[in-house]
């Protein structure tokens, strides 16, 4: 009898790459003419996996966000995993924006992904939620490839990573 092949579906950003992107964005903001004399800054809270942006006004906040996103993309951090909060007024006539990084698949999205795999009626593929990951098992490796292809065609609002493949 053939054993089960499996792979894990996860999501998340490499926090060191996020830190590097924040440092690059900070350097670029310090160099740019349109940010001269402004209070624009980016802070990264690694334990909470959150970013805090501060700028003089909405226009500078948008420019700061563009700089940060371009640096994140260059470092290979999935921008889909950013939960950008509202721009709120802060002290000293500045505005603030909080950004959370999605680390691990949220429970409701995990349930939706498992339901989509079951609704698609793959012959023997079984999906199960294991904490912040989803494990998909099947005796057929080809079927696992079909599940991956199906999941890539859907938009889940987060960047899915397929890893820990065991044949």
Q: What percent of the chain has pLDDT over 70?
A: 99
Q: Are residues 85 and 152 in the same domain?
A: no
Whether the per-residue pLDDT at 70 is higher than 90: the answer is yes
Q: Which of 107-111, 115-119, 163-167 has the lowest mean pLDDT?
A: 163-167
For residues 159 and 81, the answer to whether their CB atoms sit within 8 Å is yes
For residue 2, name the pLDDT band (cuts at 50, 70, 90): low
pLDDT at position 73 is 92
Q: How far apart are CA 75 and CA 62, in angstroms?
A: 20
Reading the block at residue 46, the tokens are 């690694």
Q: Are residues 88 and 20 in the same domain?
A: yes
Q: Are residues 111 and 156 in the same domain?
A: yes
* Domain span holding position 141: 5-11+104-166
pLDDT at position 122 is 85
Return all residues near 51 (Cβ < 8 A) that are at least 6 apart. 18, 22, 42, 43, 44, 45, 68, 98, 99, 101
Return all residues near 20 (Cβ < 8 A) that are at least 6 apart. 75
Q: Are residues 118 and 64 in the same domain?
A: no
Kind and range of the H or E run holding 2: none
Q: Are residues 97 and 31 in the same domain?
A: yes
Q: How far apart are CA 164 and CA 6, in angstroms?
A: 8
Whether the per-residue pLDDT at 36 is higher than 80: the answer is yes
Number of alpha carbons in the 13 Å side-chain half-sphere of residue 5 = 13
For residues 28 and 153, the answer to whether their CB atoms sit within 8 Å is no
Whether the per-residue pLDDT at 1 is higher than 60: the answer is no
For residues 102 and 83, the answer to whether their CB atoms sit within 8 Å is yes
Number of domains in the chain: 2
pLDDT tens-place string over residues 124-140? 889 999 988 999 999 98
- Residue 116's domain is classified under what CATH number? 3.30.70.860
Distance of CA 3 to the CA centre of its chain: 33
Q: Are residues 49 and 34 in the same domain?
A: yes
Q: Are residues 92 and 119 in the same domain?
A: no
Out of 85, 101, 117, a domain closes at 101
Q: How far apart are CA 55 and CA 153, in angstroms?
A: 37
Q: Are residues 97 and 28 in the same domain?
A: yes
């Amino acid at each position: 009898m053939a054993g089960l092949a499996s792979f894990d579906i996860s999501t998340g950003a490499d926090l060191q790459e996020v830190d590097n992107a924040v440092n690059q964005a900070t350097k670029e903001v310090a160099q740019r003419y349109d940010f001269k004399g402004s209070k624009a800054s980016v802070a990264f809270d690694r334990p909470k996996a959150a970013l805090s942006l501060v700028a003089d006004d909405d226009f500078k906040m948008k420019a700061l966000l563009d700089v940060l996103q371009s640096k994140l993309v260059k470092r290979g951090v999935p921008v889909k995993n950013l939960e950008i909060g509202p721009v709120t007024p802060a002290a000293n006539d500045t505005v603030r924006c909080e950004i959370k990084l999605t680390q691990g698949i949220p429970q409701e999205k995990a349930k939706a992904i498992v339901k989509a795999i079951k609704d698609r009626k793959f012959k023997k593929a079984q999906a199960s939620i294991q904490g912040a990951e989803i494990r998909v098992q099947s005796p057929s490796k080809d079927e696992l490839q079909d599940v991956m292809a199906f999941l890539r065609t859907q938009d889940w609002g987060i960047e899915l990573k397929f890893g820990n493949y065991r044949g």
